[in-house]
Structure 1
Amino acid sequence: MDAAPLNVAPGSLVRVRDADWLVTNASPTQDGLLVEVTGLSELVRDTRAAFYEHLDEIVPYDPRQTKVRADDSPKYRRSRLWLESTLRKTPIPLGEGKLSVSTQMLTDALGYQRSAVRKALSADNLRPRILLADTVGLGKTIEIGMILSELVRRGRGERILIVTPKHVLEQMQFEMWTRFALPFVRLDSVGIQRVRQKLPATRNPFSLYKRVIISMDTLKQDRYLNHLRKHQWDAVVIDESHNLTGSGTQNNALARVLAPNTEAMILASATPHNGNKESFAELIRLLEPTAVGPDGDINREALDRLVVRRHRHSPEVAREVGDDWVERKDLQHLLVDASLEEDAVAHELADVWLYPAAGSSPYSGENKGLFPWTLAKAYLSSPPALVESVKNRIRTLGEERTDAQQRERESLDRLLALAKDSAASPSAKLEQLVTYLKGIGVSKSSDMRAVVFSERVPTLLWLQQQLQTQLGLKPEQVAVLHGGLSDVEQQEVVESFKLSASPIRILVTGDIASEGVNLHAQCHELIHFDIPWSLIRIEQRNGRIDRYGQRHAPQITTLLLRPTHEKFVGDIRVLTKLVDRETEAHGALGDAGALMGSYSVAAEEKAVEAALIKGQSLEDLIPTPDSVASDADDPWLTFILDDADHHVDSTTEVTVTERISTGLFPSDAAYLAAALDEVFETPAASPGAGGVDWVDHQGYGLVELTPTDDLRQRLAVLPQTYLTDRRVVDDMKLAVTLTRAQASLKDAQNDKANNKGLWPEAHYLGPLHPVLDWAGDRTLARLGRDEVFAVRGDVHAPTVLVLGSLTNARGQVIATNLVAVTGTSIRPFADTAEAFDELGITPDRSNPAGVDGVDGVQELISAAVDAAEEHLRMTSDAAAQDVRRRVAEWSDRVDEWVDASEDLVQRVGVKERARRVREEAEIARTMLPARSLARPLLVIVPEEN
């Protein structure tokens, strides 16, 4: 094993610039080894810093020189605090099979979600890389949070970037904080403005914040791309990642920059395949370049390793969701007879535009079959939508026209006059919508809510005004959401609709809300005012209310205008069948996109349009779910149809008790309370008197404290409105039980008088909470640097407990080894809880007085460290060999790929891909074992001492 120039690892102590520091992370960068630390000395206490090996002299403490100190605190509280704080700062091995913290968060931690986390962290992948392709509603955001929390506990989650659509920026930030206690800064337009005030334009904004949530639209701008090229991340998450496909697009360019610059990568999309084999291959290449051969063929074995995909009726999902995801009610179609004015428009459209006599089409542009159907879609949406479409075409024709354009203008004028008459008259479909909404109980004074979808902005604005008037609603009770709103406005509408206290009764929205938005908390009624000509889009819309956590049976309703023109009526039947087919696919396949096989909204719309033009039947266009067959040329289709392969095995599920714990404290809350007692001595005192106003509301599952300045600093990235409205920085309330935390979350959501938003008053004290991290830093700073405690325990002779760790060149912990050294005897332990229990280091052990004669056991330290290091070299060989084997397998795949590419190097893109593959090989080599470290944790002497 090659010795590294600087032997440091997370948890070790170093001296830099005449101050003592605790190492929290050590990783290689383009500028050398970067050592991230927390200050222990008086002048730097609680300060976080980072030092480069080549810029500063970083001197590690020699563990053999560790001093022994007697612990005279009640029940050995100081020892237990020092041990707990040290072990919390020590990453668990990256390849640890058990889940450590993700099952202890504010989630249901369902088995199918845990299996996705285990697959992401599996040793089968050299690095954590995964595509979460679960269908709509299964909780991909929860899976993302669980994976990230496990990476944080493994010391690989300091620098995280989450890229998501702009209308769900706050939703993602909210979920990461309330469920997983991971604070992220949200760089929406307001957040970016704040950064600009703090940093010069030339500075890298990502140097200011370690954990960032930002939209794709913002991040793909050139100035951010330039910064990203110089920035390394521990983990990158890209939500709705199907937007990355398409070589040459800005989104794809962004992904190509991010993929090689991050250790872990999580892509999430319910529709990752857009019908283009190459585009899907590009998505898989982002995760693992060798997963796609030089010829573009996707390795099926790699697909199984890199992709998780389940749906509502997958066995492992269906047996778990139960009453927390109520099945849909039967789909209902409301066919509405057109009014006289609407019928006149339909006949004009059909006779003149859609089905004209041969050679008599008025359209003067190219693609004569397409534009008439643009008019038809507008007509089926609303009279205002048709008026705008006709006006837009008239503006395109301009004032100077050819004879053909003049004839088209005359036809457009006739159609416009009829459309205006229709717009000025009562709308039959609108009247049906109003009747339906009244029938389900939507009113000014009721709690019933509904989501109404339409594709056209003129329709949205018209519906907003008409529904407000005809239902007697206040302006704030009918909200509209579309892409023309700013990111802040979009987020405000989405977050408001989730609140019981929200005034919104009807959300009128375009298809911007069909991706990523959760609308089920207060709503189970969804109406398609117009039908998108895409199964995928229908599925996405329905998934806004038909998702995990829905306690009421979702009702999906379509409104369809039925004119008297016979051919037009036939077209309406086709559109009706589209929605029916989505419902069939929802139950059978969980993926409506598989029916048409294009996996693209645009491609599906084009196919439906072409079928309508040709008069093609639905059965010719869209097969039934049971007639869809695997396609050898389409690995994705084979993947989603092959249940035996793509269903992750959940027979080996673990329960939520899987958490890796030391057993030194019965709970996180008990650890926090003990830390505050030790650090502040009188924590219940006011801050000015040396306390934090600590209050434990025993029996209520709630504690309170007033944050110190350094703790406020750790929370500053959270929304200022939340910090202010909930008085977090003045009086932080922490829920210390799951029951109380869930209640706090629901109270914020369901409080009728709530004017403080969705963020809860009391936040769950999960194992990764910044308060616990802060308490650990304070504890370590107070209890000493290069010291360990001596305590009494269940041993027959003085014993030294030593923790050994093996790390690679990337600073990742490969293996840990906990041993008790007694003379020449070494006793290994499987985990810390087992060790402390066997050695008698328990929360209830009394301490009559400090151990006498600690000088006599001081000499044991050096010998114990030597013995532990020798044991570590022997016992870590298996872990090291496993890493070497996986690196060798990776290298073999690289060699095979390179060999296969030699004859194809002239193909477009192959040379660039070969470069990326070789870079991956270099990364693999840095994962080989590089350094080891043994640290004494505790000296235990016999009880009779």
Structure 2
Amino acid sequence: MSETGSGLPSGVPPAGTLIEVRDEEWLVRNSGELRTGEFAIDAIGASELVRGHTARFLTALDGMPRILRPEDTRLVADESDGYRVSRLFLEAVRRRLPLPQSEQGLALTEGFLLDRLDYQLRPAVKALANRFQPRLLIGDVVGLGKTLEIGILLGELIRRGRGERILVVTPAPVLEQFQHEMWTRFSLPLVRLDSVGISRIERKIPVGRNPFTYYKRVIVSMDTLKNQKRYGPWLRDVEWDAVVIDESHNLLNRGSDRRELAEVLAHKTDALVLASATPHNGEMRAFTGLVRLLDPMAVRDAARPRAEELHHLMVRRTKVSDEVARVLEDKWAPRGESRPLQVRASELEEEVFAELAEVWLANPERGRPGARGDEHLFPYVLLKSFLSSHRALFATAREKLAKLGHALPEGHKEVTDPSPAGPTESPAREVASLLRLTELARRIERAAADGTNATAKLTGLVAELRDHVKVGPGRAARAVVFSERRETLNWLGTVLPPLLGWTDPKDGEAAVKVMHSGVSDTVQMGYVDEFARAGGDIRVLLTGDGASEGVNLHRQCHHLVHWDLPWSLIRVEQRNGRIDRYGQTRPPEFRALLLTSDVEGALDDRTVAEKVLAREAKVHEVLGAVEAVTQENDGAREERRVMEALLGRATSEEAVADLEAVPVEAFEAGEGDGAPGTDAAAPPVERLTMSEFGTGPAPVGAPAHVAAVVDGTRDGNTFGAASDLDLDIDLDDFGDFAPTTAGDGTDDGGADTGTGTGSPQAPASDIPTVEELRFFSASPERNRQEFVLAGLAELPDLGGLRAGLTVTGTDLSFEPPRDLADRFDVLPPGYVREQGITRRINLTFSREDAADSLRRAREDAGSTSLWPDAHYVGELHPVVEWITDKVLVEYGRQRALVLQVGPEKAPDPVFLTQGVWSNAEGRPTAVAWLAIDRLGTSAPRTRELTPALLAALGVGPDMPDHWTPSDPAATLQPLVPLAVEETRREMKRVREVAEERVDSPLRDLERGIGEWRQQTLPGFEGGKPKQQEAADRLARIAARLRTTGEPMVRVLAVLEAGS
């Protein structure tokens, strides 16, 4: 422990601090509290015996480590060419130290393989505007790029030291897709814990070891993790910096396994990101419960949340939102038409229609003898099963017969089984009808085996795929076919291949794949990957609604066929969004097979399905999202609403119209409630949050605790010009950053997520950003490249690596040492093996080359994987982190290098120092980079080290190699204690700014928590005890985020005049 009054930090040391533990020196990489008063410190060895080794120290065992005194810093002359070693060290220091808690501008907008689109940066800005906990519900409509928005936010959290431990939870089919995006776009490796991944990891770690402590950044499926019996104890034993839950609408049902999982994770993480294109289902209590996972204090009345209570926690845009529409013209092909394809029922199908019309639909109430729950809707369930297929009809009828006590006998339970012997009649009218329907289904099955004419939709589908889409052997065209029923999908998977021309069963099986919830997660991910590659064999993907949730199917496909249609605007939109999304280069085309009938009273597909198709297309054209007008915000509830309306004798037109709370034509005419230019009352919050939401200025009346910790000037679309930004760090007082707009000082273009390389953004950007100090180039991309190359060239222990290093322009290749190869262990084993990453790694710093590598993986006929053969080295890439760690260990052991500059640049020695105030978590609350000169005089001068001052001092890539020989020990060493003293004096002033910007708002929040604790909250889950528990937890977190202890001070380098 440091002595009182020593001026050394008295709390847990922040990242970048040099400490002494067990008589060895270590560099802190991360630190955090395990329990009250006990900390874990992750470090890497710096002294000779432990150099390069990683370790975790527990203060409960080792005590608080000794922090090495800055006054004892030795000055050493830098004799490297262009003072490259000094710049290498300064750049590494800058990279390792997290941005301060008070900094809310974006720092990595130029560090990812993305087009720079402001609307995709907006969620990160909104989340970071919260000084307390970055928590957000991203509710953008299908296709806008929520995964990319999540990646941007995670990157910014990592840069702030708030993303060391990350957990991403997604639907199973999306696991590899999400993992792929995080790695290829953001250089962020996540270990995938699917069913195979978990088994592999359990073989590697000690028995009983928690896999979530073994890996720090994990992606896992919701279905895997919801097994509370197996994973609950592990999850409750781990603290996360950030948790992401994709498709979060699956959490709405209180009491479900998924919701229980979400509640556990919400209490075990700092940052929480929920993502869903349908954020709520219209049941406001359920939605409020979800919101309270983000902020328990946000909503006072669970049944009636107000827009101002939700604004700081949610952002939602549609395709027609101004900020979206103006940048997507060349990145998202216009949507094609939704065209109905009417097919006339066959004779056998007409018999089914007649049976349904006479027994079930003429008087639907008959379908509910002693009905319970939704059983009164069974006539329409039965109808919809037939509109899907004869096999689905058979399965529905069989299940109903079993419920009525008339189960089909063994040997006759499948549609392909022979008909049972004996009569098919029954005294019960409904039972007799169901038996007749099962027999009709069998007859259709037998007739279909001889050709397609017995099933009109199959005839229509084959004609559409073969003649219009041009699917078949030797052709590249692809299509997605949706059906609601698993029985239908399985049947189509069997009968389609030969009808489309594949005569070899193996070829047909490879070309047509079936994907539904009964298919394993790894198989589903394989299908999605193959369907996205030009060289893949899959030409027709038959999928259900659940299995395709969140999946990108647009890379090689722009044709989608609805084999059957949900009676839901939302589900039709979600289906269409699989190919109608950001990055689609061809206008997506939608077709729907509609079975028609001449039977009087038959409710064929023209009755409801065709009208739903037309309304979805109309609403999407006008508003960009159907949820903006729907009565219900859940597909199942919409289906039920239609059925209830039909049961109540509404016409089909009335039933479909009732899905919309406000007719879209009213919005088109500017007359809808809340429509622009109207004086109508604001729409209810449930519809506000399904339109564009959370993008404007914070509304009046926000809860008091929100005003305390959310920067209103940064919250939404109302930022001023960059020069007018009210940054949380007073740049006139201190700080290491200056505000800038994107692209200033650089010539880097964006990398396209499609096949191009991006284009500059036309409108002036209002996204707040920070321009960090850079010591190799003003261009972030060039600076990153030169930093890595300098490290590879200068680090003494990389001599062997240099022998096999190949550098060609912006590309480089080398054999990774073991300590680097270990960092790639979290990537998919197949990818690591195929690309030989552990044997030789191929890197590129060029966005254009990286985009081309992605394109080749997707488009080349010989490609067997979507994973690229060259890694884009973004800001978060493991190679950059590896170089950073090695540089700090090699050159950061209580010594500072001396550089010589022109006499006119530094007539007096200039000490470059750094001061850091931290909180109890070990994360910086305020950082100062300083240039101090005129030491030893009566008026020493301290200036903020800005990029402009750094250039004025002559520090940069064009520094001359050598000046006169220097003897720092004799001339400069006596000034080190003076430089430390001046830095500490300046840090006292910086502390006052930190008090204003960080600590005072947090104290206001703590007072707000105390007041909230006394309130009575209707509908708060768990009642008053849970409210008190939440208040205690929030108060503890707020207290730990306040600045504490003494500042860390470091002498980084000295500039002296050369001659």
1:559 aligns with one of 575, 587, 593: 593
1:236 aligns with one of 243, 253, 258: 243
Q: Does residue 710 of the first structure (1) align with residue 760 of the second (2)?
A: no
> Is the Cα–Cα contact under 8 Å of residues 500 and 752 in structure 1 kept in the other structure?
yes
Identity of aligned residues (%): 38
Q: Does residue 665 of the first structure (1) align with residue 776 of the second (2)?
A: yes
Q: Secondary structure at the match of 2:395?
A: helix
> Is the Cα–Cα contact under 8 Å of residues 11 and 1044 in structure 2 kept in the other structure?
no
1:575 aligns with one of 599, 609, 620: 609
Corresponding position of 1:846: 960
Aligned-pair CA distance for 1:784: 4.7
Counterpart amino acid of residue 212 in structure 2? F
The whole-number CA distance in structure 1 between the counterparts of 2:541 and 2:265 is 36
Aligned-pair CA distance for 1:279: 0.8
Q: Does residue 486 of the first structure (1) align with residue 486 of the second (2)?
A: no
The whole-number CA distance in structure 1 between the counterparts of 2:719 and 2:560 is 36
Aligned-pair CA distance for 1:543: 0.6
Cα separation, partners in 2 of 1:792 and 1:664, compared to 1, 3 Å:
same
Corresponding position of 2:266: 259
Q: Does residue 619 of the first structure (1) align with residue 657 of the second (2)?
A: yes
Corresponding position of 2:845: 736
Counterpart amino acid of residue 11 in structure 1? G
Higher mean Cα deviation, 568-577 or 456-465? 568-577
Once the two structures are superposed, the pairs formed by residues 393-412 of structure 1 within 5 Å of their partners are 393-398=400-405, 407-412=429-434
The whole-number CA distance in structure 2 between the counterparts of 1:482 and 1:797 is 73
Once the two structures are superposed, the pairs formed by residues 264-283 of structure 1 within 5 Å of their partners are 264-283=271-290
Counterpart amino acid of residue 369 in structure 1? H
The whole-number CA distance in structure 1 between the counterparts of 2:287 and 2:370 is 38
Q: Does residue 939 of the first structure (1) align with residue 1054 of the second (2)?
A: yes
Corresponding position of 1:434: 462
Corresponding position of 1:803: 914
Q: Secondary structure at the match of 1:387?
A: helix
Cα separation, partners in 2 of 1:650 and 1:539, compared to 1, 3 Å:
farther
Corresponding position of 2:731: none
> Is the Cα–Cα contact under 8 Å of residues 109 and 656 in structure 1 kept in the other structure?
no
Cα separation, partners in 2 of 1:63 and 1:294, compared to 1, 3 Å:
farther
Query: Gapped runs of 5+ residues in structure 1?
Result: 684-688
Aligned-pair CA distance for 1:312: 0.5
Aligned-pair CA distance for 1:652: 5.0
Aligned-pair CA distance for 1:315: 0.2
Counterpart amino acid of residue 655 in structure 1? A
Q: Secondary structure at the match of 1:503?
A: coil
Corresponding position of 2:24: 19
Aligned-pair CA distance for 1:462: 1.4
Once the two structures are superposed, the pairs formed by residues 27-426 of structure 1 within 5 Å of their partners are 27-30=32-35, 32-57=38-63, 58-122=65-129, 124-222=130-228, 223-293=230-300, 297-356=304-363, 366=372, 369-398=376-405, 407-425=429-447, 426=453
Under a length normalisation based on structure 1, what TM-score does the superposition of the two structures give? 0.94
Counterpart amino acid of residue 602 in structure 1? A
The whole-number CA distance in structure 1 between the counterparts of 2:603 and 2:627 is 26
Cα separation, partners in 2 of 1:785 and 1:561, compared to 1, 3 Å:
same
Counterpart amino acid of residue 289 in structure 1? P
Under a length normalisation based on structure 2, what TM-score does the superposition of the two structures give? 0.84
Corresponding position of 1:750: 859
Cα separation, partners in 2 of 1:583 and 1:838, compared to 1, 3 Å:
same
1:546 aligns with one of 580, 592, 608: 580
Residue deviations 1:693-727 (CA, integer Å, cap 9, x gap): 210122xx321011100001111010110001011
> Is the Cα–Cα contact under 8 Å of residues 310 and 646 in structure 1 kept in the other structure?
no
Cα separation, partners in 2 of 1:465 and 1:252, compared to 1, 3 Å:
same
> Is the Cα–Cα contact under 8 Å of residues 40 and 781 in structure 1 kept in the other structure?
yes
1:917 aligns with one of 1031, 1037, 1046: 1031
> Is the Cα–Cα contact under 8 Å of residues 294 and 910 in structure 1 kept in the other structure?
no
Counterpart amino acid of residue 802 in structure 1? T
Cα separation, partners in 2 of 1:853 and 1:291, compared to 1, 3 Å:
closer
Aligned-pair CA distance for 1:745: 0.5
2:992 aligns with one of 877, 889, 906: 877
Corresponding position of 1:791: 899
Higher mean Cα deviation, 311-320 or 470-479? 470-479
> Is the Cα–Cα contact under 8 Å of residues 493 and 513 in structure 2 kept in the other structure?
yes
Counterpart amino acid of residue 371 in structure 1? F
Aligned-pair CA distance for 1:443: 1.6
Q: Secondary structure at the match of 1:502?
A: coil
Counterpart amino acid of residue 13 in structure 1? L
> Is the Cα–Cα contact under 8 Å of residues 597 and 604 in structure 2 kept in the other structure?
no
Cα separation, partners in 2 of 1:802 and 1:576, compared to 1, 3 Å:
same
- Name the one with the larger helix percent: 1
Higher mean Cα deviation, 80-89 or 640-649? 640-649
Q: Secondary structure at the match of 2:122?
A: helix
The whole-number CA distance in structure 2 between the counterparts of 1:157 and 1:744 is 28
Counterpart amino acid of residue 649 in structure 1? N
Residue deviations 1:755-782 (CA, integer Å, cap 9, x gap): 2x10000010111110111112222222
Cα separation, partners in 2 of 1:428 and 1:614, compared to 1, 3 Å:
same
The whole-number CA distance in structure 2 between the counterparts of 1:905 and 1:310 is 29
Cα separation, partners in 2 of 1:619 and 1:900, compared to 1, 3 Å:
same
> Is the Cα–Cα contact under 8 Å of residues 136 and 272 in structure 2 kept in the other structure?
yes
The whole-number CA distance in structure 2 between the counterparts of 1:588 and 1:371 is 35
Aligned-pair CA distance for 1:754: 1.2
The whole-number CA distance in structure 2 between the counterparts of 1:567 and 1:884 is 71
The whole-number CA distance in structure 2 between the counterparts of 1:645 and 1:677 is 47
Aligned-pair CA distance for 1:868: 0.8
> Is the Cα–Cα contact under 8 Å of residues 302 and 1020 in structure 2 kept in the other structure?
no
Cα separation, partners in 2 of 1:907 and 1:212, compared to 1, 3 Å:
closer
Aligned-pair CA distance for 1:524: 0.7
The whole-number CA distance in structure 1 between the counterparts of 2:813 and 2:967 is 39
Aligned-pair CA distance for 1:272: 1.0
Q: Does residue 725 of the first structure (1) align with residue 834 of the second (2)?
A: yes
The whole-number CA distance in structure 1 between the counterparts of 2:533 and 2:1019 is 56
1:816 aligns with one of 927, 950, 954: 927
Aligned-pair CA distance for 1:476: 0.4
The whole-number CA distance in structure 1 between the counterparts of 2:589 and 2:1020 is 55
Cα separation, partners in 2 of 1:632 and 1:651, compared to 1, 3 Å:
closer
Residue deviations 1:56-90 (CA, integer Å, cap 9, x gap): 14111111111111111111111111111121111
The whole-number CA distance in structure 1 between the counterparts of 2:135 and 2:203 is 35
Higher mean Cα deviation, 88-97 or 763-772? 88-97
Q: How many residues align?
A: 932
Once the two structures are superposed, the pairs formed by residues 582-593 of structure 1 within 5 Å of their partners are 582-593=616-627
Corresponding position of 2:713: none
Corresponding position of 1:686: none
Q: Does residue 454 of the first structure (1) align with residue 483 of the second (2)?
A: yes
Residue deviations 1:800-825 (CA, integer Å, cap 9, x gap): 11111111112221111111111142
The whole-number CA distance in structure 2 between the counterparts of 1:300 and 1:151 is 27
Cα separation, partners in 2 of 1:417 and 1:907, compared to 1, 3 Å:
closer
Once the two structures are superposed, the pairs formed by residues 492-507 of structure 1 within 5 Å of their partners are 492-507=526-541
Cα root mean square deviation, aligned: 2.5
Q: Does residue 834 of the first structure (1) align with residue 834 of the second (2)?
A: no
The whole-number CA distance in structure 2 between the counterparts of 1:3 and 1:16 is 16
Query: Gapped runs of 5+ residues in structure 2?
Result: 409-424, 448-452, 503-507, 667-671, 675-680, 698-715, 722-740, 745-768
Cα separation, partners in 2 of 1:218 and 1:621, compared to 1, 3 Å:
closer
> Is the Cα–Cα contact under 8 Å of residues 918 and 1044 in structure 2 kept in the other structure?
yes
Counterpart amino acid of residue 133 in structure 1? G
> Is the Cα–Cα contact under 8 Å of residues 530 and 559 in structure 1 kept in the other structure?
yes
Residue deviations 1:665-698 (CA, integer Å, cap 9, x gap): 1321211111111125875xxxxx4546210122
Cα separation, partners in 2 of 1:214 and 1:641, compared to 1, 3 Å:
closer
